[in-house]
Structure 1
Amino acid sequence: MKHHYQQWLSKVTPEDFSPNYHNLIDYYLRAIETNPDIVTNYWYLGLAYLLDENLTQAQETWFFIFAQAAEELQPYSQELLEILNLEALRQEKLSHTKLHLLICQQIAEIDPENINNLLTVVILQIKLQEFEINQLEEYNLKELIATADKDSIDFALILDFIPHILEYPYEQTVLLIQSILTYTQGNETIITEIVNLATDIERKKQYTIYAIRLLEVCNLFPHQQLDIYRNLYSFYKKTKDIDKLIAICEQYRDRSHNFSDKLESQNLLLNTYLTVAQWDKALILAEQQYQLYEDIENHIEDLKQSQSKDSFIIGGINFWYLKDDLSYNRKLINQTAKIFQQVNQSNYPSFTFHKPQKKEKLKIGYLAHTLKNHSVGFLSRWLMLYHDKENFDIHLYMNQNREDDITEKWFKPHASKITKVQKDTRSLINAIYDDKIDILVDLDSLTLNSSCLVTVAKPAPIQVTWLGMDATGIPNIDYFIADDYVIPPQSEQHYQEKIWRLPHTYLAVDGFEMANPTLKKADLNIPESAVIFLNVQNSAKLNPHLVNLQMQIISQVEDSYLIFKVKQDETRLKKYIYECADKFDNVQDRLRFIPYDETVELHRANLAIADIFLDTYPYNGATTTLEALWAEIPTVTRVGEQFASRNAYGFMMNANIQEGIAWTDEEYITWGVKLAKNENLRRDISWKLRQSKRKSPLWNSKQFTKEMENAYQQMWQIYLEENQ
């Protein structure tokens, strides 16, 4: 056989036979005419026809021999296969993809259970854009691989095959991948490859369901890939598959053994429990999480090596929902932020700044992923609108590259430059430094880890946190913008940042757009004479202690109803609320649940169904409370120690409203009952809220913008004096 193939090579390689094979065909026709009994010449004649892309003639030539062989086909088939396999290898080395495929397809005709060859056929078809997904069933690949003998399939070929076939987002692909994993007994290298490719496909092409299926299949096998849990968490969250979201978080927790993995997995699980109102589990898990964060200083080296080193800081968000303990919460957050900076700072450039000069025009950079249809977008747009462009050069840094009509209308026209990135923190950091930003204002706080990483790198000489949430505690942040209400003087000792208090309010808006209301009492089977309390906050803010207070209010006011707005997982939310209501007589029948409205304008308009807006504690509403006050709805809020529990208080004081501000649980209940039973008082408050729109600093964004700009100029002056 080798002798014949060497002879073939001597005939096929000279240039005079390329690019057509007519001379080669003539050679073997003469050889057969001279020696018709030498079967090998027929194989090579057919191969010559095949290389000349005359498939019909090639098959007829081979069939002529097979027809004469009668029942003894095996030796002939084997001989032809050996020749075709040798030629397939030669064509592969020559990078003749089309001919390589043609030969492999003939091998598949003769030996349809040759898995290695079938895998090669599919790869080549994909390269030539000739593959269709139904061909997997034609080749019977899934079943062949599932039943293949151990070590019978080329492992390197499998690794080459996977990235090609994963480009086809079908269930057939997923099932084939499952067969491959079954055959390889969940090989870790293959699982790693699939996980990386699936994640990349989801990010680039948004094939979330497909990526989920691939990762779910990988998760059927024993593995060490914690990225499977992390990515499934993100994808289930995106698709709002709550049952699977909870299950994967619990599985991740159970599979985590070192400190950093436990910290991350329990952060995700705790956040999920809060999101879906599983407060009984959340409160138990929270105690474990507090212990981990208290011990974080002893695990810095572990964190440096962990995949969660760039994100463990955002777990601090959960603290503000769980309890109103300013000293304890800030201590944990500041300590965590300090370690977060220590762990991550060396991964990014170290910047130096020239000696500062007095400037006529300051460059202000705003860092946010929320400059769109988002609470932060709605609240910060007025600052962008009223900025003095003569004295301030506005740059926007959007670190998730997502835009909408709000971005287009309210942000783009007011910025001299916009930089957008997607998961590229380093380029974002460099862009801020290259733009020579004087003051970088972070609007994300702990809501996005990449923004925290930017501020850790400190690409601007002055860094400020504003609006997104409470302060991050990152040492490289210079100032946190607040007012006397949200952070009174006695509270600033708990912050590592310098508290910069604006004269009136740390936030002002010129109002909110509203549609025409569509929600009526009759739609909810509520009598027209009833008093309606409204709670529009998400489940994470529905602390059981707070819900208990609200149930006490309802129980004390006959003919009153309490409406909750459902953001997600209505079943779990209802179960939780009804369980809270079980302790009180005649309350469950007066609870109602409404879905989120189609647009934010309609949401605001439908607030009008409420007589009284019940704020939450220990995490107040911010945008939602402002919307209720703008809608002139009397509001009851419970004031606490921490920033998150003082927002509504600050807004109401700036709107000249003190009715409804409670400093204790008892006062919260008292105000709820009092407002429900006193319609005239409600009218008076509504009138005061209407009047406040004309003169309150809360609704005066022009004045607020000037105060922010004054703050920026003073910050720069301080920086000048400190660096002379």
Structure 2
Amino acid sequence: MITNINNWQNQAERYLVQGNYVKGISLYEQAIAREPNAISYYWHLGLFWLLEGDEAQAQMAWMLPMAEADEEQLQIWTNELFQVLQPEAERREILAEYSIAWLIRQHLREINPIDINNLLQITLLAIKLDKFEEIENLDDLRIIELLNEQEINDATVKLLIQVLENFLNAFPLHPINLALVKASLPYFTDTHECFCILLPAAMNIGHTLQQPALAASLLELHLQIEPDNVEALRHLAVFYQDARYYSQGIETAKLCYSLSEGLADKIFALHLLLRGLMTAGGYWKEICGTCQELENVFQQFIQTQPIPLEEARILRLLTPSFAIPHIKDEPASFREIHNRIANIFHNYIQDIVNYEGKNFVHKNRNMQPLISVSKKIKIGYISYAFRNHSVGWLARWLFQYHNNDKFEIYTYFVNYKLVDDYLQHWYVNHGGKAHLLGMNGLEIAEQIYKDEIDILIDLDSITLDITSEVMALKPAPIQVTWLGWDASGIPAIDYFIADPYVLPNDAQNYYTEKIWRLPQTYIAVDGFEVGVPTLRRDDLDIPMDAVVYLSAQRGYKRHPETTKWQMQIIKQVPNSYFLIKGLAEQETIKRFFYQIAEEEGVDCSRLRFLPQVHSESVHRANLGIADIVLDTFPYNGATTTLETLWMGIPLVTRVGEQFAARNSYTMMINSGITEGIAWTNEEYVEWGVRLGNDKALRQQVALKLKASRQTAPLWNGKQFTREMEKAYEQMWQRYLEE
């Protein structure tokens, strides 16, 4: 009951804060009985009813005075009601009482459906409350329409930017994203602020969620307000290439190079250009010129040391080397340059970690022998490829057969992707103690150091900059590179796993890591899952009695010299056809093959270009259409070679000097096959012709391959694991004895 006319409203305010809505309702009902023409009382009464949970009573209280208002008065009173409800919504948001704030703001929206500030707050609340049905109907809020029509004040601009950032993080693949970004662009007075929102969103969409075309569209919008942002162009070039927009990826990389000033930036721009040209395939003249330019800039960079570089540019130094072994087989000269770059990279990373006071000091090794007899050796594996990836398919047997009584296994997932990936799930469940990590190299290294890993195995080499950074930080006392690529050359890495064949005898002369040769093979698998084939000869218009050659490699590995040998084989084998498969720009790669076929006198009608399939098991089944597989050079197949041999198909390979040119050689030796191993260009052609003309020889090789499944080191994952484990024990013992 109201006893003090001057104090009752303060009492009502206290009831509001205390959540005693019933008493607040009672106060305002008494006030209205005393002063029925005090319109503001109805607004507050309705608010109390709303908070009490009776929306019908709330609306009745608000509508009662408005029923007899004229149009002008109705607008005034509507605004007054809005001004009563909005502060309460804001108070609830400060208190993180988002559900109540949501309820109030829905009524504010009914009162004024075009108040942009309220609509933005509703969107923000929908994100916080996971109200997906509201997000799905975001168009109904008319935010984009209003942004395009209205001018908004500075406070609302700040709110808009907050909503945009939160929305891109929470719903990166929502179809309204591009329109929302486009409508928001005019309100960014600071282009850097816009970039700091759009780039992380684009990277998440393009890399983690594997939607590079959408990520490219997002960065294209930013370039409308900042067309010369080189960092945006770098990422845009990658997204174009990953989305198979080959020409756009190449042209964007060229623009990056033209805008790059420092040597480090030029190195990375040339890498992007090579990545685009080689992914497309067929741009051989440009590839060679770009490769030579890259080596020249590498030399200039080495000669100008030391020069200050921030971390982002440092991390980009190693990956560009990846292209060069695809172009030429000159490991001694290649590694001389690459190892110097790797040393510079290592020193930069060490300077950063020293500056931040994060040195990883390992325990006194002289104390270790006291506990080494009973201690399990902690083995850590680090990679971004514990998923549907060549490394993921091949490494799993080592994890499956590890002796958990002697070794404690840790797995460090770099840039863990929350996607539906069977193989990734497998590693999470079979990788010992799994750490699902992001892209912060120092944080990953700190986790490895905290786990007290004894031997850290790098499966990425230089193919991921973050993994290279982790290895350069030296978080484990023994560090090893295996499987993912050739050795990285980083001084912090102690060993590179090889075997008697995959590197020549003099390779240690140009490797900084100690080459650790396993007794038989550096890789083994128990086999592969094989699905149902989708290719038939009659569908390809190929006679059943024809000899079918196949080459299944991406554009990166297409070398004109090797393609000439392949055409010479086709020319010399009557009734033969050549199937070509692999990611590349279709028209460009066709021109590449057709031109060489014509130069070698081969009718282009004998060539077939096969589509990609989305299942590895179907791809393997489809290999069965081939009589002979022709390997690439100077960069052999690896996973593709293993799949070919598992399917019992003869293979022709050219052995070179570098690791990438000897993969197929070691795999054939370790499957008990020498037929098809060529040591010269001429032998490659000879083997290809001989296998094509001699059906009995092909059958003999196929039978040997099938029999090898039971006897060969290549197909014995358990034996291989024991050999790797023995190597780990010897590395550990050597470390203790130093």
TM-score by length of 1: 0.83
Segment drifting more, 166-175 vs 628-637: 166-175
- Separation in 2 of the partners of 1:80 and 1:538? 65
On the 8 A contact 2:47/2:85 being kept in 1, the answer is no
User: In structure 2, the residue corresponding to 1:561 is in which secondary structure?
Assistant: strand
Residue deviations 1:470-503 (CA, integer Å, cap 9, x gap): 1110101111122332222322211111112233
Q: Report the counterpart of residue 373 of structure 2 in structure 1.
A: 359
The amino acid across from 1:350 in the alignment is: F
- Separation in 1 of the partners of 2:100 and 2:491? 64
Q: Report the counterpart of residue 196 of structure 2 in structure 1.
A: 192
Q: Report the counterpart of residue 280 of structure 2 in structure 1.
A: 276
Instruction: Identify which of 147, 150, 170 aligns with 1:148.
Output: 150
Instruction: Report the CA distance between 1:157 and its aligned residue.
Output: 2.9
Instruction: Report the CA distance between 1:542 and its aligned residue.
Output: 1.0
Q: In the superposition, relative to structure 1, how do residues 514 and 201 fare at CA in structure 2: closer, same or farther (>3 Å)?
A: closer
Q: Report the counterpart of residue 177 of structure 1 in structure 2.
A: 181
On the 8 A contact 1:675/1:682 being kept in 2, the answer is yes
Segment drifting more, 232-241 vs 591-600: 232-241
Q: Report the counterpart of residue 37 of structure 1 in structure 2.
A: none
On the 8 A contact 1:368/1:397 being kept in 2, the answer is yes
Instruction: Report the CA distance between 1:99 and its aligned residue.
Output: 7.9
On the 8 A contact 1:563/1:594 being kept in 2, the answer is yes
The amino acid across from 2:279 in the alignment is: T
- Separation in 1 of the partners of 2:673 and 2:628? 14
Q: Report the counterpart of residue 639 of structure 1 in structure 2.
A: 655
Instruction: Report the CA distance between 1:694 and its aligned residue.
Output: 6.0
Instruction: Report the CA distance between 1:617 and its aligned residue.
Output: 0.5
Instruction: Identify which of 128, 131, 134 aligns with 1:132.
Output: 134
Instruction: Report the CA distance between 1:304 and its aligned residue.
Output: 3.7
The amino acid across from 1:590 in the alignment is: R
Would you say 1:315 and 2:302 are equivalent positions?
A: no
On the 8 A contact 1:508/1:697 being kept in 2, the answer is yes
Instruction: Report the CA distance between 1:616 and its aligned residue.
Output: 0.6
Instruction: Identify which of 380, 391, 402 aligns with 1:376.
Output: 391
Q: In the superposition, relative to structure 1, how do residues 27 and 173 fare at CA in structure 2: closer, same or farther (>3 Å)?
A: farther
Would you say 1:42 and 2:46 are equivalent positions?
A: no
User: In structure 2, the residue corresponding to 1:592 is in which secondary structure?
Assistant: strand
On the 8 A contact 1:608/1:631 being kept in 2, the answer is yes
Instruction: Report the CA distance between 1:660 and its aligned residue.
Output: 2.8
Q: Report the counterpart of residue 533 of structure 1 in structure 2.
A: 549
Instruction: Report the CA distance between 1:63 and its aligned residue.
Output: 5.1
- Separation in 1 of the partners of 2:154 and 2:427? 62
Would you say 1:58 and 2:44 are equivalent positions?
A: no
Instruction: Identify which of 67, 83, 92 aligns with 2:90.
Output: 92
On the 8 A contact 1:25/1:49 being kept in 2, the answer is no
User: In structure 2, the residue corresponding to 1:564 is in which secondary structure?
Assistant: strand
The amino acid across from 2:186 in the alignment is: T
Q: How many equivalent pairs are there?
A: 703
Residue deviations 1:272-323 (CA, integer Å, cap 9, x gap): 3212214244333323322332233367777741424334322221111121
Q: Report the counterpart of residue 650 of structure 1 in structure 2.
A: 666
Q: Report the counterpart of residue 561 of structure 1 in structure 2.
A: 577
Instruction: Report the CA distance between 1:330 and its aligned residue.
Output: 0.9
User: In structure 1, the residue corresponding to 2:556 is in which secondary structure?
Assistant: helix
Instruction: Report the CA distance between 1:637 and its aligned residue.
Output: 1.5
- Separation in 1 of the partners of 2:105 and 2:348? 53
Q: Report the counterpart of residue 36 of structure 1 in structure 2.
A: none
Q: Report the counterpart of residue 500 of structure 1 in structure 2.
A: 516
- Separation in 2 of the partners of 1:462 and 1:405? 31
Q: In the superposition, relative to structure 1, how do residues 124 and 328 fare at CA in structure 2: closer, same or farther (>3 Å)?
A: same
- Specify every segment of 5 or more residues in structure 2 that has no aligned partner in the other structure, as ranges: 1-5, 51-57
- Specify every segment of 5 or more residues in structure 1 that has no aligned partner in the other structure, as ranges: 1-5, 34-40, 68-72
The amino acid across from 1:649 in the alignment is: Y
Q: In the superposition, relative to structure 1, how do residues 49 and 432 fare at CA in structure 2: closer, same or farther (>3 Å)?
A: closer
Instruction: Report the CA distance between 1:393 and its aligned residue.
Output: 4.2
TM-score by length of 2: 0.82
Q: In the superposition, relative to structure 1, how do residues 106 and 203 fare at CA in structure 2: closer, same or farther (>3 Å)?
A: same
Instruction: Report the CA distance between 1:28 and its aligned residue.
Output: 5.1
On the 8 A contact 1:115/1:153 being kept in 2, the answer is no
Any residues of structure 2 matched to 1:304-703 within 5 Å, and which?
304-345=309-350, 346-347=352-353, 349-355=359-365, 356-357=368-369, 358-359=372-373, 362-371=377-386, 373-401=388-416, 417-423=433-439, 425-515=441-531, 519-567=535-583, 569-597=585-613, 599-655=615-671, 657-689=673-705, 696-701=712-717, 703=719
Instruction: Report the CA distance between 1:380 and its aligned residue.
Output: 3.5
On the 8 A contact 1:621/1:647 being kept in 2, the answer is yes
- Separation in 2 of the partners of 1:506 and 1:619? 17
Q: CA RMSD in A?
A: 4.1
- Separation in 1 of the partners of 2:147 and 2:400? 62
The amino acid across from 2:86 in the alignment is: A
- Separation in 2 of the partners of 1:509 and 1:699? 5
User: In structure 1, the residue corresponding to 2:318 is in which secondary structure?
Assistant: helix
Segment drifting more, 124-133 vs 288-297: 124-133
The amino acid across from 2:735 in the alignment is: Y
Instruction: Report the CA distance between 1:465 and its aligned residue.
Output: 1.5
Q: In the superposition, relative to structure 1, how do residues 147 and 663 fare at CA in structure 2: closer, same or farther (>3 Å)?
A: same
Instruction: Report the CA distance between 1:644 and its aligned residue.
Output: 0.7
**Identity, % of aligned positions:** 35
Segment drifting more, 143-152 vs 552-561: 143-152
On the 8 A contact 1:432/1:459 being kept in 2, the answer is yes
Q: In the superposition, relative to structure 1, how do residues 126 and 646 fare at CA in structure 2: closer, same or farther (>3 Å)?
A: closer
Instruction: Report the CA distance between 1:338 and its aligned residue.
Output: 1.4
Q: In the superposition, relative to structure 1, how do residues 555 and 162 fare at CA in structure 2: closer, same or farther (>3 Å)?
A: same
On the 8 A contact 2:362/2:476 being kept in 1, the answer is no
